[in-house]
Structures are given as structure tokens and as C-alpha cells.
Amino acid sequence: MTPLLQLDSVNKAFGGLKVTQHLSFSVFPGEIAAIIGPNGAGKTTLFNQITGHLLPDSGRILFKGEDLVGLTTQAIVKKGLGRAFQVASIFPEETVLDNIRLAALANLDHTRRFWRPSAEHRQATEAAVAILASLGLEEQGGRLAFELSHGDQKLLDIGIALALQPTLLLLDEPTAGMSPEERQRTRRLIGEIRGEYDLTLVFIEHDMDMVFDIAHTVRVLQQGALLAEGSPAEIQSNEEVVKAYLGEEL
């Protein structure tokens, strides 16, 4: 099977600090891939390189066989790569529905249209309403985004990314700062949306219960390098990983 995302010896340094070191791995269609590692291991920096926010010093990042290195974030997003952020990246003064509708309008390339009110763009509105229902936010559609709870804002961030109809969705700590109930709900929702939207998921997470529960594969980063990769069971029994990162958690 051809990998959907393939990293080929990616390197990145900030001055003398190496944040990504000879990183190579592949993610296949339909996979739920977790990236774990201690703070400062280079996980978010890796996402920033995949999405064009940072330029790798060397190496290739192939998405659907095409090298993303050097492309703008906008171009990468248009190729079908979506992202939700560690701190929910939403439009706080817009309604929840408008947040997702805006993403749907962007996906339809309708954001240059200046005459009909955005609420009358039926295709985008229907897509937004469907996503709200998938995320269990349909009751919140009319509220302003900043009024939502932290957990719901994180879900809205995912909803915005979903409205772009990505084939690969990058989730940066989707349950960070959530209550146990919200974590449980998010864990369930991530599994559901993957099936519903035919997604491949790569997520960064510190909640090991979630990682070992939903991930098909796990990559462990340490100081920007790949310490280990394998199935959740393999990672859990990897002595090096246990020693370096998991420690007492197991």
C-alpha cells in the first residue's frame, strides 16, 4: 500500500538546537497514528513542518506522493491536509455555526463571493450543520464561539478542520486541558469521525490511555529523533520507551 504521508529523513534545527533529527516514517490511509514524547521532543514542530508553517532544513515530506517541502500552508491545506491545534484555533466572535460555515465556504472556494449573505449559501450551511451534529455541538450552533467551554472549543477547532474535507487530519493534543468526561467524549468522537469522514489521523497526545486505546501505530519522539515505533502493545513493552518516557505511567 502506498503511504499517505511519508517523512524521509527530515531535519530541522534552531541554531544549535536540533528539533527534528533524521525523522523518517510513513502513515498509511485509514491509519490512526499517535505521536508521543516528552515536552520539547519536537512533536508540534514536526506538525509545523508538515503543514508548511516551518521549513525543514533537509529531507522530504511526501503527501499522496507529492513533496510538501517549500509549499505554503494554504497550498498544503488545499491538497487535503487539515489541522486542529493544541490551543483551539477558532474565530471567537463568530457563532459556532459560522466558524464551521466559514471553513466550508473556504473549501468550496466561495470566500470571494460578496453578494449573497453567507447564511444563504446552502451547500456550506448544510455541510456545517452536519459537522456540528457529528461533533454533538448542534445545540451550540447559535452561540458565540468564545462562550463555549474549553472542551467544546477544542471540538469546534476539529470541526473547522473537518469542514475542509481533509484526507489527513493532524490533531495536536486534542484532549489537552479537558475534564475526564470531555476526554472520554473526545476519544469516542475521534474514533467516530475517522469512520464517518474516511480520515487518516495523526495525533499528538499525552493521555496514554487514549493513545493506547485508539491508535493503530505509535511513534515516540525524543529530542527530535524517533525513539521507537510500533503498535501500542509493542510500544508499551519497549523498555527504552518505558525508561525514557512512559516510566511509572505503565
Q: Using the rule CB under 8 A, which residue among 121, 154, 185, 219 binds other proteins?
A: 121
Output the CA torsion sign for 176, 180, 182, 185: positive
Which residue lies nearer to other proteins by CB, 15 or 142? 142
Q: Using the rule CB under 8 A, which residue among 114, 139, 181, 243 binds other proteins?
A: 114
Nearest one of 219, 206, 170, 208 to 190, comparing CA atoms: 170
Q: Shortest gap between Cβ of 119 and other proteins (angstroms)?
A: 8
Query: Does 90 engage in binding with other proteins (CB under 8 A)?
Result: yes
Residues 138-177 as x/- pattern, contact with other proteins by CB under 8 A: ----xxx-xx------------xx--x-------------
Q: Using the rule CB under 8 A, which residue among 70, 92, 180, 247 binds other proteins?
A: 92
How far apart are the C-alpha atoms of 2 and 64, rounded to whole Å? 8
Residues 54-73 as x/- pattern, contact with other proteins by CB under 8 A: ------------------xx
Residues 186-245 that bind other proteins (CB under 8 A): none
Query: Does 124 engage in binding with other proteins (CB under 8 A)?
Result: yes
Residues 93-112 as x/- pattern, contact with other proteins by CB under 8 A: xxx--x--xxx-xxx--xxx
How far apart are the C-alpha atoms of 210 and 184, rounded to whole Å? 8
Site for other proteins, rule CB under 8 A: 51, 72-75, 77-78, 82-83, 89-95, 98, 101-103, 105-107, 110-119, 121, 124, 142-144, 146-147, 160-161, 164
